[in-house]
Amino acid sequence: MSDKKINSALVSVFNKEGLDEIIRLLHKLQIRIYSTGGTFSFIESLGIKAEKVEDLTTYPSILGGRVKTLHPSVFGGILARRGNKEDMEQLAKFNIPEIDLVIVDLYPFEQTVRDTTNEDEIIEKIDIGGISLIRAAAKNFNDVLIISAREQYPGLLRLLQEKKGITSLKERRLYATMAFKTSSNYDTAIFSYFNREAGITAFRESIDTSYMLRYGENPHQKGIFFGNPDQLFEKLHGKELSYNNLLDIDAALGLIDEFSETTIVITKHNNACGVASRKSVVNAWKAALACDPVSAFGGVIASNVTVSEAAAAEIDKIFFEIIIAPGFSDKAIEILEQKKNRIILKRKGTVKNLQNFRSVLNGVLWQERDYSTESQKEMRPVTARIPEPSEFEDLVFANIIVKHSKSNAIVLAKNKQLCASGIGQTSRVDALKQAVEKAKTFGFDLKGSVMASDAFFPFADCVEIADKAGITAIVQPGGSVRDQDSIDYCTAHGIAMVFTGKRHFRH
């Protein structure tokens, strides 16, 4: 028979919040309660009788509370197979009571790691008894119901209220599945903490929080975001975020966070189609939009300063999906929220994720994130002419953008404004030609502009094309066996070129 009635429960939790209602209901249903330490005291404070685990095991809690429930009298009652004659005979022989329900809330290990660097405190928050109880009860789901986290209390209350303590096999198996999710996530957090120093090569990632998306990259694909976007921003207005929205937000924030001056970034399909730094946010917006007003349609806008009323009035003139900034004036909000589906996000802070991984073939590719951003000091002049101060400013500006563009990538910039970019091309020459043509399409005079390349030039053809387009300064990693060809051409034609020694491929 798959249905089982709960006659006894073992309760051992760290956080008592929300437990009182469950305890009262267990008492009402005449379910015997076993408990430990602080949980036992909490139950007694409710005026409800419980039995101490110490009385069951005939051993006190020892080693400062490290050992409380680890005893055959506890685990025997959880793991005994009710339909197994030998198991039940052994329970009777050793006077071990059956335990039908186990409620556990683990020590808050992850929270402790966030709150302190005191290793003694962190180590003491590695739960031993609790995690063992969870695994034991989940293993014996045929007979035992396991509640492994406070988030499951509402479901348990419904079971107790509506079914009077009777559970089905399907329900017990579901909660066992959730229990193994709890234990695996807990173990991953502990491994990750220890592996900061050990550096063992193994891929472990566990995120319990999930955010259901309308769909994936396309409407016929299912999509889920594992993480908590509410930690990063507050949604002030608009529809739910989509898979593609989150990709574009990630791209926009990665780029905007590189700038200290007032800057606007516009992204489309994870690439920048407009970037400009100016003294005021409204002028930054106008300059960013001028880069490519066609691609900006339906894009994602990011600002690194509060959006003013004047800026909002200009931004409101085009259709866009999302705007994200550290703040908005009241008038700006009034203007921007007039469109029903427009998403307005207010940033709460930044999270510096030090790793990057993606599923590939039958495994996972992992790498450190590219947080290398070259300043003027890291740009080594290799030509006879050294860039002018204004050119250096533009080279740093363009190099930041090219780092965040899909390879092969070329970025053209002038006066801290993106003129055009060639992105995602199989040939660097094609990327440059695309950028030059695009700049001309939107009326940019490239005379005196600069060029940034995400990788070296294998031949001098790119610097020749750049020279004919009016570009006067170039930044690239260097490293080609034929670097000298490009250097010689630039020197002969008065072009300043600098090497960074850092490639910024992005695929």
Beta bridge partners of 213: none
Q: Mapping DSSP to helix (H, G, I), strand (E, B) and coil, where does residue 149 land? A: coil
Catalytic residue among 52, 71, 139, 502: 139
The reply to whether 507 belongs to the active site is: no
The reply to whether 139 belongs to the active site is: yes
Spatial separation of the C-alpha atoms in residues 129 and 208, rounded to whole Å:
22
Give the DSSP letter of residue 397. H
Computed over its alpha carbons, how large is the radius of gyration of the chain?
31
Spatial separation of the C-alpha atoms in residues 286 and 288, rounded to whole Å:
6
Spatial separation of the C-alpha atoms in residues 501 and 507, rounded to whole Å:
19
Spatial separation of the C-alpha atoms in residues 257 and 458, rounded to whole Å:
31
Spatial separation of the C-alpha atoms in residues 500 and 383, rounded to whole Å:
13
Q: State the number of CA atoms in the 13 A half-sphere of 125 facing the CB.
A: 22
Spatial separation of the C-alpha atoms in residues 50 and 115, rounded to whole Å:
34
CA angle 76, 82, 84 (to 5 degrees): 95
Q: Where are the alpha helices (DSSP H) in 140-280?
A: 153-163, 169-198, 243-256
Give 3-state DSSP helix, strand, coil % of the chain, rounded to 5. Answer: 40, 20, 40
Spatial separation of the C-alpha atoms in residues 260 and 278, rounded to whole Å:
11
Spatial separation of the C-alpha atoms in residues 353 and 72, rounded to whole Å:
44
Are 408 and 424 a contacting pair, CB within 8 Å? Answer: yes
CA angle 254, 258, 264 (to 5 degrees): 80
Spatial separation of the C-alpha atoms in residues 77 and 8, rounded to whole Å:
10
Spatial separation of the C-alpha atoms in residues 493 and 180, rounded to whole Å:
67
Are 495 and 463 a contacting pair, CB within 8 Å? Answer: yes
Provide CB contacts within 8 A for 292, sequence distance 6+.
266, 273, 274, 420, 438, 442
Beta bridge partners of 497: 474
Catalytic residue among 269, 286, 331, 339: 269
List active site positions: 139, 269
